[in-house]
A = this chain, B = another copy of it.
Amino acid sequence: MAEALSGFPEWLPEEELFQRKLVDLVRQQFELHGFAPLQTRSIELATDLLGEGGDTDKEIYGVQRLAADPAEGAAKMALHFDLTVPFARYVVERRSALTFPFRRYQVQQAWRGERPQLGRYREFIQADADVIASGEMDVRFDREMVALLRTTLDVLPVPKVRLLVNNRKLLEGFYRGLGIEDIPGTLRIVDKIAKIGPAKVGELLVARGLTADRAEKCVAITSIEIRGEADAQRVLDLGSSHAMLDEGLRELLFVLGASRDAARPDSIVGALSIARGLDYYTGTVVEGVFEEHPKLSAVCSGGRYDNLASGRTKEKLPGVGVSIGITRLMGYCAHLGLLKSERPRRTPAVVYVLVHGEEEREASESVARTLRRRGIPALVSDSSAAYGKQIGKANQLGVPYIWFPARGEGGHEVKDLVSAQQAPADPTTWSPASV
């Protein structure tokens, strides 16, 4: 991956084939669960993306015609920085035409003008699934979405991911029970714990006005992992007490029930360190990290948002969603050397049909057409040079089989380029062993 514009990744064909596989597997799971495909426009009104104060930490890209009159002033349109905010806008606009609860998935680019680094891009593809209800929305939906994320990750050819789940109400209730009133400020500091460590978080909390005892408890709770009811007692033992804490804890334990059907125990864990920054979440929050590479940032995330539509409509439209960072997964897999192969596939073609000579090209084309009609991707050799040269090209492209079209007395033959086995074959019946 070489980049002329930093932060705008482009892949080689062999890497793109891997990316397509990731996206197709994700889409397949989302569709199996009844989520409808959707694309929203890439461009929003800038005012819809900016925070209430007109500013944001998302580093938004404005968009304006190059031919625009400079007197038009600043860009009024902007590229979306995630898929959730546009989706909420879409739902409010179309709510009379939608059936609620509305489940959709969306695989699209998003853009943020942040400084590029490993796992952080200025243009990146996200695969999101969300459900939005009209009126009330049970915590059952939160569990459904965590289970969907779990099932989807389990079919991807990437390193094992552990899902870390928390609940905003649990943290907020815990803080309130301790008498802390500056909830966003406290969350923002606690959210840095993975980066700066517990000691520094404690210091910052005290600097912000918390007593040493309260700061210590805010740090202590982040180290708690919850795998069952018994662990919940460890939270209560810290001495905070608040109705919202109880509700958050109850919701968290319920959502963790998604691990019931998970293939691996321990693949969904309550982790009270997870806060998901300043995002719009109001209850469940989740993120997923590579189990064996804990220093790499989250490859997926999600949570419950009750108020994304408020301000646009009086109707209550709570939602919960998950998001898989396709480009980040690609970046990490490339970084970990997982996209390399001894014989990289550079084409979807399964069969490379050789050409005996230009005057016999039509015979080769005919074989390819027959294979394609049967759903087998086939390429006809672009050259009619010596077989060795043609086979060399097939190897370069990583095509698994070459086809020798029938000629004179001889029939068709197929050669498996990996096992080097060659056998007679009929284009109307032959199938690849596996691809």
| Residue positions of A touching B, CB distance < 8 A | 2, 4-5, 8-13, 16-17, 19-20, 31-46, 50, 59-67, 74-75, 77-79, 90, 93-94, 97-99, 101-104, 109, 111, 113, 123, 125, 133, 261, 346-349, 369, 372, 375-379, 382, 393, 396-397
Contacts and interface: CB of A to CB of B under 8 A. Distances in A.
Contact of A98 (B13, B34, B66, B104): B13
Contact of A123 (B42, B90, B98, B102): B42
B37 A16 contact: yes
A93 B4 contact: yes
20 contacts: A5-B43, A9-B41, A13-B36, A13-B37, A16-B39, A17-B36, A19-B37, A31-B377, A32-B372, A33-B377, A33-B379, A36-B348, A37-B348, A39-B125, A41-B123, A42-B109, A62-B63, A62-B66, A66-B74, A66-B78
Nearest to A123: B41
Contact of A382 (B4, B78, B101): B101
A64 B62 contact: yes
A85 to B, nearest CB: 14
A-B pairs with the 3 shortest C-beta distances? A34-B379, A34-B349, A8-B41
Nearest to A21: B37
Given A42-B123, A66-B61, A36 B74 contact: no
B16 A36 contact: yes
A295 B105 CA distance: 36
Nearest to A97: B12
Residue picked from A38, A44, A261, A397, most chain B C-beta under 10 Å: A38
Nearest to A395: B99
B41 A66 contact: no
A2 to B, nearest CB: 7
A39 B20 CA distance: 10
A37 to B, nearest CB: 5
Contacts of A13: 36-38, 98, 102, 104
Given A65-B113, A74-B66, A35 B348 contact: yes
B94 A2 contact: yes
A99 B12 CA distance: 11
A382 B39 CA distance: 24
A25 B113 CA distance: 35
Contacts of A19: 37, 39
Nearest to A14: B36
Contacts of A79: 63
A32 B396 contact: no
Contacts of A98: 12-13
A326 to B, nearest CB: 10
A75 B79 CA distance: 14
Given A98-B13, A113-B67, A20 B37 contact: yes
A53 to B, nearest CB: 13
A59 B63 contact: no
Contacts of A111: 42-43
A94 to B, nearest CB: 7
Given A62-B63, A67-B113, 20 more contacts: A4-B93, A5-B43, A5-B77, A9-B41, A10-B40, A13-B36, A19-B39, A31-B377, A34-B347, A34-B349, A35-B348, A36-B346, A41-B123, A59-B67, A60-B66, A61-B66, A64-B64, A64-B75, A65-B113, A103-B379
Contacts of A125: 39
A5 B45 contact: yes
Given A36-B348, A99-B346, A347-B36, A123 B10 contact: no
A109 B43 CA distance: 11
B34 A378 contact: yes
A40 B375 CA distance: 27
Contacts of A347: 34-36, 103
